[in-house]
Structure 1
Amino acid sequence: MAEGSIFKRCACRDANGKKLGNACPHLRRAGGSWSPTHGRWGYQLELPPTAAGDRRQLRRITFDSRDEAAKDLDKANELLALAGDDAALGIEIADLLKAVKSGSPLPDRDMVAKRVRAGLPATVAMTLAEYLPQWLDSRRTIEPGTVRAYESHIRVHLVPHLGGIPLEKLRVEHIEAMFTAIADRNTAIEIARQSNDPEVRAAVRGARTTGPATMQRIRATLRKALNDAIRKSNNRLIDFNPAAHVELPSGARPKARVWTDKAVQHWRATGERPSAVMVWTPQQAGEFLDYAEDHDIVLYPLYVLILHRGLRRGEAVGLPDAAVDLDNALVTISQQMATLGYRPMVKNVKTESGNRVVSLDSFTLAALHAYHARRARWQLVGGAAWPDTGFFFVQPGGQPWHPETVTGRFERLVRDAGLPPIRLHDLRHCAATFLKAAGADLKDVQELLGHSSITITGDTYTSVIAELEVERAKAEAAAALVPRRRQRAA
């Protein structure tokens, strides 16, 4: 294939309106050299024929100097060279060159090369809407719950806001604009909820705001997807990850707070909770267990285990029968009952720190012994039809519990008992708080809960301990060291 030829042309016409082309007398000086002020430089390049076999050329006459025309011709040849012996790819690249408007720059050679190496069409830039689903489909080794979270982030946020942007053109500003739009949507929902117009309030009924922690997770999904686009050694699609350079409000975990008398009074008057994570006082926790024992004896032992030993819901519901050693008062935590959508599924605990052995106190042990005897009676009544599921906590008919059923019955018990609301997961926070109040250090609490880092434990529970006033004696002793002329009554 020819390497192309460079020429100079002008737009001058003769008396009949015909273009003079290179015959224009003004194109050259008297000595034969090219005029520096008249005409434009251009080049002509033979391209691979169309798919139908038609011959075609690339002609570009937009340059102020011969050097500029030569450089652009070199770029065109470099792009065509990417096809090598691949005739179909040569046609694609030729189509790409022919599509460039007059005066516009040719496509970046490296960008097209990345697309060619990745097996993507050379003529169309891959958008986020195309890349993200392909990326998710390629993730074969991640947990189903993680896949579900990624899919939700992509479907609800990333594609609607960023889907039309070519992957290689995505910038920090685009991502920041997405999060600004999400924040604006949050504000609009909150304003509508406070409206005096019932139709306005109804318009956002069921609408969910996107909190700082969720925004952090959305960014993490995009950052991971773009990192994978960079890391593909042979099919590297981009060189820069803009998601890594976007700053968002902290998604720090909310502090656990105690349902003190004052907090309960405020909640009863306004319906407002001091924090998303609330903890009962020991008195309130005792009232709940008493009420649960009287009104839901079937699930009562499960709630006792969570409240006193800090198991997660999935760890308690998915507890294997073989993991409960009542003779030695030990429970081994190695698996959990999770949900994918609404479908329950058993899987291992997430981290090595979550794989742990928990000692049982005498109160919890007594409750589990009583439950174990009751379960034996259920099995006796059920006979051969009673299923052996391998789970410790089961329904009277022998079937395992659905995690959502356990949560629903807990919330109903709390409501019927007239107690300030907490989540089922907050029973775990109660266990940690009461253990620390009884004199355990944060390391003990971390090991009980299976936290991967003591920082998580400290960040979550420090303020709770202060609220329960278990450090009051230490605080009084420290204050007494400061001499004053007169003592003020408390």
Structure 2
Amino acid sequence: MASGRVTKRGNTWAYVINLPMDPATGRYPQKWKMGFKTKKEAQQALDAALAKVGEETQIGETMTVAEYLKEWLEKSVADRTAPRTLETYAYVVQKDLIPHLGAIRLSELKAPAIEAMYRTLGKIYAPSTVHRVHRVLRTALNRAVKWGYLERSPLERVDAPPLRYGKRNVWNAEQIHQCLDYLQSRSPTTHMAAFLAAYTGMRRGEVAGLRWTDIHWDKQSIHVQRSRQHRPMGELVGPTKTTGSNRSITVGETVLETLERWKKALQTHAQARGEAWDEESYVVSHLDGGYPPPDSFTDELRRAVQTLGLPSVSFHDLRHSHATLLLEEEVPLKVISERLGHASIQLTANLYTHVTDRIQDAAAMAAEKALGRPKK
């Protein structure tokens, strides 16, 4: 709990309050107030200040984690962060934190409950996504300490989820085509989304945010420059994940021909509805002109996987399958990294170590075969 004392400074009196440790800095902040004429005045002011701190702590003892997180978003995050960051925080709060921790009283939130959430999320999310949840929770709980709702953040006793790069779930070319054939007859929109992910390595949000003006037919390339997401606060369209994600991807005749057929189908349906064609419209659209939420791609793919009995993969794993197939075709790692829009070639190497190790083994065998054994 917070404590305090009065002290004389020159000809006047002051009080100082020792606050709980700030988890962001590891320091114990102090709050000073000076200028009191007498020791009695300083003591009365200190008592009032400590009472207020106690009231704030009491609030933390009665409110739930869900109630606190909503207050944090409204009073702190909304005024301090960029709109896209606010969207991300709100998304994580609504989708992950409140469902797993929301019913717990803030004062009773302990390390085991948080670690249990991380384990659960680790079964359905990539390590980087679980780590993002951890970062949002850490920011929220640090603010609770500063507001006096908590004396210490329970995350001080929790290890951050590791950013491991494990073996990826990927499909071979035959499995990809089996799924695409199935989707084409049942969900043409999701077929186009999955086709682009598998043939270009684009992220789901990048596929959803692709416009027809981004297709450069003469250069045989696709310009990836935005991402479209659906969040609790509405649709979010913004720049790609990182600066390096803004890129041009060279594509072949198969991709261009498939896009051309899809565009003609959309134009035909628009004409039948009496609507003018908009070149700024999204590539992955419903035939009736609506834009599907990106989550629907994941849901449709999951149903297709179950129906076909294929190895379980996520929509994002189509991107990994694309990269793995290129590596197995001995495409240089630098080219693949640029194609995927990774921040660095080292990230690509870390993600696909299991593939590059296998290629290195094959290279060693090829070298021995080419050179043979030295004469003794």
Q: Identify if the C-alpha distance between structure 1 residues 374 and 461 changes in structure 2 by more than 3 Å, giving closer, same or farther.
A: same
- C-alpha displacement at 1:306, in angstroms? 1.4
Contact 1:136 1:151 (8 Å CA) reproduced: no
Q: Tell me which of 394, 403, 407 is aligned to 2:285.
A: 394
Contact 1:95 1:123 (8 Å CA) reproduced: no
Distance in 2 separating the partners of 1:216 and 1:403 = 22
Contact 1:389 1:398 (8 Å CA) reproduced: no
Q: Identify if the C-alpha distance between structure 1 residues 309 and 185 changes in structure 2 by more than 3 Å, giving closer, same or farther.
A: closer
> Which structure has the higher relative contact order (CA within 8 Å, separation 6+)?
2
Distance in 1 separating the partners of 2:117 and 2:193 = 40
Contact 1:442 1:454 (8 Å CA) reproduced: yes
- C-alpha displacement at 1:422, in angstroms? 1.4
Contact 2:110 2:154 (8 Å CA) reproduced: no
- C-alpha displacement at 1:378, in angstroms? 1.7
The aligned residue for residue 261 of structure 1 is none
The Cα offsets for residues 63-116 of structure 1, whole Å up to 9 and x where unpaired, read as xxxxxxxx9775994229926489xxx989616538xxxxxxxxxxxxx6xx9x
- C-alpha displacement at 1:283, in angstroms? 2.1
RMSD: 4.7
One-letter amino acid matched to 1:448: R
Contact 1:326 1:369 (8 Å CA) reproduced: no
Contact 1:331 1:359 (8 Å CA) reproduced: yes
Distance in 1 separating the partners of 2:306 and 2:80 = 42
The Cα offsets for residues 153-200 of structure 1, whole Å up to 9 and x where unpaired, read as 7656788778339xxxxxxxxxxx93334346788x8xxxxxxxxxxx
Within 5 A, what are the aligned runs for 1:32-181? 74=8, 77-79=13-15, 82=33, 84=35, 94=44, 96-97=46-47, 121=52, 124=55, 133=72, 134-141=75-82, 142-149=85-92, 155=98, 163-164=106-107, 178-181=110-113
Rg comparison, structure with higher value: 1
The aligned residue for residue 299 of structure 2 is 408
The aligned residue for residue 49 of structure 1 is none
The Cα offsets for residues 202-243 of structure 1, whole Å up to 9 and x where unpaired, read as xxxx9x89997666445423554577899x9xx9xx9x9996
Q: Tell me which of 306, 323, 342 is aligned to 1:432.
A: 323
Distance in 2 separating the partners of 1:356 and 1:210 = 26
The aligned residue for residue 221 of structure 1 is 136
Q: Tell me which of 166, 171, 196 is aligned to 1:254.
A: 166
One-letter amino acid matched to 1:405: S
- C-alpha displacement at 1:365, in angstroms? 1.2
- 3-state SS in 1 of match to 2:244: coil
Q: Identify if the C-alpha distance between structure 1 residues 460 and 212 changes in structure 2 by more than 3 Å, giving closer, same or farther.
A: closer
- In the alignment, structure 2 segments of 5+ residues that lack a partner are 17-31
Normalising to structure 2: TM-score of the pair?
Answer: 0.70
The aligned residue for residue 193 of structure 2 is 302
Q: Identify if the C-alpha distance between structure 1 residues 214 and 388 changes in structure 2 by more than 3 Å, giving closer, same or farther.
A: closer
- 3-state SS in 2 of match to 1:79: strand
The Cα offsets for residues 21-80 of structure 1, whole Å up to 9 and x where unpaired, read as xxxxxxxxxxxxxxxxxxxxxxxxxxxxxxxxxxxxxxxxxxxxxxxxxx9775994229
Q: Tell me which of 160, 171, 189 is aligned to 1:280.
A: 171
One-letter amino acid matched to 1:221: V
Normalising to structure 1: TM-score of the pair?
Answer: 0.55
Distance in 1 separating the partners of 2:306 and 2:124 = 25
Contact 2:96 2:133 (8 Å CA) reproduced: yes
Is the helix fraction higher in 1 or 2?
A: 2
The aligned residue for residue 365 of structure 2 is 476
- 3-state SS in 2 of match to 1:331: strand
Distance in 2 separating the partners of 1:182 and 1:245 = 10
Paired residues, what number? 337
- C-alpha displacement at 1:432, in angstroms? 0.9
- In the alignment, structure 1 segments of 5+ residues that lack a partner are 1-70, 99-111, 166-176, 190-205, 257-277, 485-490
One-letter amino acid matched to 2:136: T
One-letter amino acid matched to 1:164: S
The aligned residue for residue 196 of structure 1 is none
- C-alpha displacement at 1:139, in angstroms? 2.7
Contact 2:246 2:341 (8 Å CA) reproduced: yes
Distance in 2 separating the partners of 1:279 and 1:380 = 39
The aligned residue for residue 24 of structure 2 is none
Distance in 1 separating the partners of 2:246 and 2:175 = 30
Contact 1:334 1:348 (8 Å CA) reproduced: yes
Distance in 2 separating the partners of 1:180 and 1:248 = 13
Distance in 2 separating the partners of 1:444 and 1:279 = 20
Give me the identity figure in percent: 24
Within 5 A, what are the aligned runs for 1:332-481? 332-341=223-232, 343-384=234-275, 390-466=281-357, 470=359, 473-477=362-366
- C-alpha displacement at 1:441, in angstroms? 1.8
Distance in 2 separating the partners of 1:91 and 1:156 = 48
Contact 2:100 2:117 (8 Å CA) reproduced: no
Q: Identify if the C-alpha distance between structure 1 residues 226 and 288 changes in structure 2 by more than 3 Å, giving closer, same or farther.
A: closer
One-letter amino acid matched to 1:476: M
